[in-house]
Structure 1
């Protein structure tokens, strides 16, 4: 009986210690998009086995959970991209925000101006996140009113994905045999005509239906002229000479058959991979995918290279955005959870090179300049993108503004709406959106 009593006491002690340990663990919630792959990467902590955005962020989270010494458990809530911000806003409104959330630079002002995010500058200094190592475009992305509001995670931007074999066939190569990029609108049209005449293929594959890709290319050309979509007083500039010129050039490419207006996102990619277009306009996120597919025996694309956005006007610029991590304000702040969240952000900061394996550019200057970064496939071909990346000023409702651009600009090649009419319509709609922003 005494032995049974001792065993029972020992069992109770073990259970008590286990309960205490469980209570000591700090659990935090992470809201993100990037797709769902928790089953595929369940318990995987080897980062060399992670592929793509979803795989890399999932394995990073697994690795942190398995290896951190502070008893922190990050629980991921993966939300489908199309409804992500609606879900996040609903949680914030219900006073049940996650501890950490991914957020685009273009969306950050919507939350920052409403005082829904925690300022992070002092906390970053305390945990060893060196904001001085952020590349300028990344630091600018997360700064407002002299404060840091998020951890920048990447710079993602437009690139020109190039079929070098078609450039060689067209004779559009330099003295080193490399694809020759145009340096002016006139030269672009000349190159496109040469490509079509000598190869029978169009110069461009651009997602052109209900896709924002053409609007991002249009914005790039507006900025390269020194123009902007919005002036310093938050007034729309859709009918400026720079805006008209950018849309004129884009429309001319479609009108001359140098881009197919019927391509959607998948169609443009397939045309490029099938060797049916010389340049695919798409982002940093496609680099590893296209590089891998170019190695497949049944894929026509073989000689794949990447190029920074060519400068056709007087100023270097390319459309960009950033993925960032924010700490939403909590209705009942918990210092332990906040400390745990900052510990996880430091881990992500330390692993910025791993995230750059997605094709996105790192936000740390030291990582961008590293030999490890340049050793990744094709990265040395477009590191300059991080220095020319450009974005809209920090204004609210940018998603609404982009919706207007997509609807009006795309209509000029889809249903042949007059350029002046499309830009006048866009000017009115964007002006109404900006008035809402100015009145806050």
Structure 2
């Protein structure tokens, strides 16, 4: 009997708060966003958290320290490049996490394989007000009338701007603000002026194995009214809009206005070091670059943010969303399920803190809040939420993106002919989608 009691105590701890016994429950959280558990160990003050990793880590610390249900969230931080392979492997191996972060672009793959749980009724039971989600967020997580995830943000491509370099180049408007181009020809003209007047490149773009150029390419395709793949899985990579977008992008590398040698860290360093006027990166960098610009040792002094300029006829910018899902369990544990929903409610309640990263909130009440409005630079890219566009919710969307990254980047990395790039991408993308349809 004593041994049985000891084993029970080892597997299910019991603590006491006042006179009420609370069963301790441990749940696992799968996420990317980087590893910073050592830097933020035991930190629960959200004002001390910076960037995606810092904020999600401190949110988790705070929940663990303050929840009254005896819940402990154990984080498994996975490197971004292998995250979905690891998540799929864990699910296939019978050890799915209790909660996992996921992109909007990936959700269709997991839904098709019946790997995540429906959450609509659970949101109501947990006190999560789904009516507060903005329409684009509800659309991102809803399929056939059911909600499958907790929307966490809208993230999109931005131009991060060194305003001092624009002043030196004379590329400012009557108010002294950086002047954004309004056409492909004007962009090239501005880039040439920047080089001539300052000796600096116009762009820093992560350009090796990074998707950033692909996201800029997609933005320019959409701004022309084109598409690369539609909801019916028709691929259009050899269209005139696609050819024009790649032509413009490649011309910037060919003229030296962007460096093909930049990976993600070196592109950021070039911008922070004052060697490039515009960093092409996402909303997730705003909080970090704002903090770095305050460092007296950093060359970047006057940091501002801009919506992606409209160079063609239509407003559009690439976007995606982070969301939280509950993977299906072979033997669901009601205590763990309840704990996972409690953590999701905590994240939803503290949504404004995640918005500090630079990502756009997906709760209408947070968008209107004074706390959000007071965050730096938000007014500078408020239009992004209204012009954001995403690839249609189709299976194997990430495979199509990976294909585009490999093919498009080969244009400036190994000088592959642009027409051949798009021809090869068209053929391979068609094969990917045909396999997805089982044909």
Using the size of structure 1 for normalisation, the TM-score is 0.92
Shift in CA distance, 431/294, structure 1 to aligned 2, threshold 3 Å: same
* Contact 2:157–2:283 (8 Å) recurs in 1: yes
Which secondary structure does the structure 2 equivalent of 1:203 belong to?
strand
Q: State yes or no: 1:389 paired with 2:375.
A: no
Kindly indicate whether residue 82 of structure 2 is the aligned counterpart of residue 90 of structure 1. no
Q: Name the CA distance, whole Å, in 2 between partners of 1:314 and 1:136.
A: 25
| Correspondence for 2:53 | 54
Q: Provide the C-alpha distance between the structure 2 equivalents of 1:229 and 1:116, rounded to a whole number of angstroms.
A: 28
Greater Rg, structure 1 or structure 2?
Answer: 1
8 Å contact from structure 2 (residues 318, 389) kept in 1: yes
1:129-168 correspondence to structure 2 within 5 Å: 129-168=128-167
Aligned to 1:416: 415
Q: Deviations over 1:168-198 (max 9, x none)?
A: 1222111111111111212212222222222
Q: Equivalents in 2 of 1:107, 1:418: separation in Å?
A: 30
1:251-281 per-residue CA deviation (whole Å, 9 max, x = no partner) reads 1212222212222222222221222211111
Deviation at 1:18, TM superposition (A): 7.2
Q: Is contact 2:366-2:372 (8 Å) kept? A: yes
Once residues 130 and 222 of structure 2 are traced to their aligned partners in structure 1, the CA distance between those partners, rounded to angstroms, is 27
Tell me how far 1:355 sits from its aligned partner: 0.9
> How far does residue 59 in structure 1 lie from its aligned partner after superposition?
1.6
Shift of 1:117: 0.7
Partner of 1:227: 226
List alignment gaps of at least 5 residues for structure 1: 1-11
Separation in 1, partners of 2:127, 2:322: 20
Structure 2 contact 22–69 (Cα < 8 Å) conserved: no
Q: What is the RMSD of the two structures over their aligned residues, measured on CA atoms?
A: 2.1
Alpha-carbon distance, 1:433 to partner: 0.9
Please tell me whether the aligned partners of residues 234 and 438 of structure 1 are also in contact (alpha carbons under 8 angstroms): no
Q: Measure the CA separation in 2 of the matches of 1:404 and 1:310.
A: 26
Structure 2 CA distance, aligned partners of 1:99 and 1:283?
A: 28
Q: Which residue of 1 aligns with 2:213?
A: 214
Aligned residue runs from structure 1 range 37-186, under 5 A: 37-186=36-185
What's 1:26 paired with? 25
Tell me the CA shift for residue 429 of structure 1: 0.9
Q: How does 1:194-343 map to 2 (within 5 A)?
A: 194-343=193-342
* CA distance in 2: counterparts of 1:176 and 1:290, whole angstroms: 23
Unaligned 5+ runs, structure 2: 1-5
Contact 1:368-1:383 within 8 A present in 2 as well? no
User: 1:12-23 counterparts in 2 under 5 A?
Assistant: 19=14
Matched, 1:400 2:375: no
Once the two structures are TM-superposed, the CA of residue 23 in structure 1 deviates from its matched residue by 7.8
Distance 1:70 1:20 in 2: 10
Give the distance between the partners of 1:245 and 1:72, measured in 2 at CA: 53
Alignment partners' CA distance in 2, 1:393 and 1:313:
21
Deviation readout 1:92-115 (Å, 9 max, x if unpaired): 112221111111112111111111
**TM superposition shift of 1:19:** 4.8
Choose 426-435 or 19-28, whichever is displaced more: 19-28
Cα deviation 1:309-360 (Å, max 9, x = unaligned) = 1111122111112111001111112222222211111110011111112222
Please, which moves more after superposition, 426-435 or 291-300?
291-300
CA distance in 1, matches of 2:15, 2:266: 56
Cα distance change of structure 1 residues 392 and 69 upon mapping to structure 2, 3 Å threshold: same
- Deviation of 1:202 (Å): 2.0
**2:373 and 2:66 mapped to 1: Cα distance?**
28
